[in-house]
Structure 1
Amino acid sequence: MTVVTTERLVIRDWTDTPADLERIFDIYSRPEVMRWLGGGKGRLTDPAEAAERLSSWRERYAPYAGRYGIWAVEVRDDGPVVGSVLVKPLPGGDGVTFTEDIEVGWHLHPDSWGHGYATEAARAVLDRAFAAGDSRVYAVVAPGNEASMAVCRRLGMTHVGRRTDWYGGTEVETFALDAPPRA
């Protein structure tokens, strides 16, 4: 199911097709991607784990009926899946229980870095989140991930410092964006 489209991208549900599962594995097995996601914890090591990862995403976000989730980002007109974009409640200090704080994020395959896809996809899902009623959205970035911090700045997000109250106490650079005023 398509979630939102942009000029260049289709943001859609991940599927259990072989192509999507292969791409999930290819993205989430790469050290250069996973080093920024929990320090590499959760890195896929077997292609069969892609189906398990997809199933866990579906189960985790099913209660939100499509409002929140992790979606595939695909180049329009039969282009490749370049990665994932997400809008979801942030897990709290225990790393499990969701807070009321909402996160936007992106995980792109290295072959898709540097094309503006993360910014374009994130902007689209941010607009969607604000239209659905979210008033503030955060981006949390591993310290040192300059590329993701640059995406946050391009999105107009404000750096609000480092925090340790999400993701089980992991220290993250935190950016925030408030919903635009309603007309």
Structure 2
Amino acid sequence: MKMNVPVTERLKFKLMNEHDWQQLYELDQDPAVMQFLTRGVPTTKKQIREEGIPRMLAYRNAKKGWGLWSVTTKDTNTFIGWVLLRPMDFFSEQPNFSDIEIGWRFKQISWGQGYATEAARALCAELTKQTDVNYISASALADNISSIKVMKKLGLTFVKSYTHTDEQGDLPAVLYSKRLK
């Protein structure tokens, strides 16, 4: 049986697949959305197709609910963003399948309305039903105050500060987590 996220008061969800590349591309074109991800550089169509989609498909598992969950508004059926679920350290040599990473990316027009928290709570509620999930964790750059607020609203607590390293250099980051069992 696959994970099925019920609609919330304002939102609907769908596990994304390779055919949703246009929505991923559209979301990543706003420099403000990408500020804490790529230092504001929009993602190209080639990057979405050749890097983003293959990475998403590598961890996508409908039964477990792993993947990118499209978030649309119930009233207008407008795509406003996505919520990610995948095992922590999935792309390392030792992924942690009992600790599920949650993340989110939303269009700027939806910011400040509680959509990220509402969507993340709905997905977390479904994760808690899985007996093999012991933790839910999230990370963000230390300056991403809005994402850290969502983490706290989900009941995640500060674990550690660390240095995030990518092709553009090093930046301070934080990890938050919540024990389920």
Instruction: Report the TM-score when normalising by structure 2.
Output: 0.78
Distance 1:166 1:88 in 2: 20
**Structure 2: runs of 5+ lacking an equivalent:** none
Paired letter, 2:137 = Y
- Pick from 103, 106, 120 the counterpart of residue 105 of structure 1: 103
Contact 1:136/1:177 (8 A) holds in 2:
yes
1:9 paired residue number = 11
- Pick from 82, 85, 88 the counterpart of residue 87 of structure 1: 85
Shift of 1:161: 2.5
Contact 2:158/2:174 (8 A) holds in 1:
yes
Contact 2:87/2:101 (8 A) holds in 1:
yes
How does 1:38-117 map onto structure 2 within 5 Å?
39=39, 43-46=42-45, 49-52=47-50, 55-62=53-60, 65-91=63-89, 96-97=92-93, 99-100=95-96, 101-117=99-115
Instruction: Report the TM-score when normalising by structure 1.
Output: 0.78
SS of residue paired to 2:112: coil
1:22 aligned to 2:22?
yes
1:120 aligned to 2:127?
no
**Structure 1: runs of 5+ lacking an equivalent:** none
2:32 paired residue number = 32
Relative to total residues, which structure has the larger helix share, 1 or 2?
Answer: 1
SS of residue paired to 2:33: helix
Identity %: 28
1:156 aligned to 2:180?
no
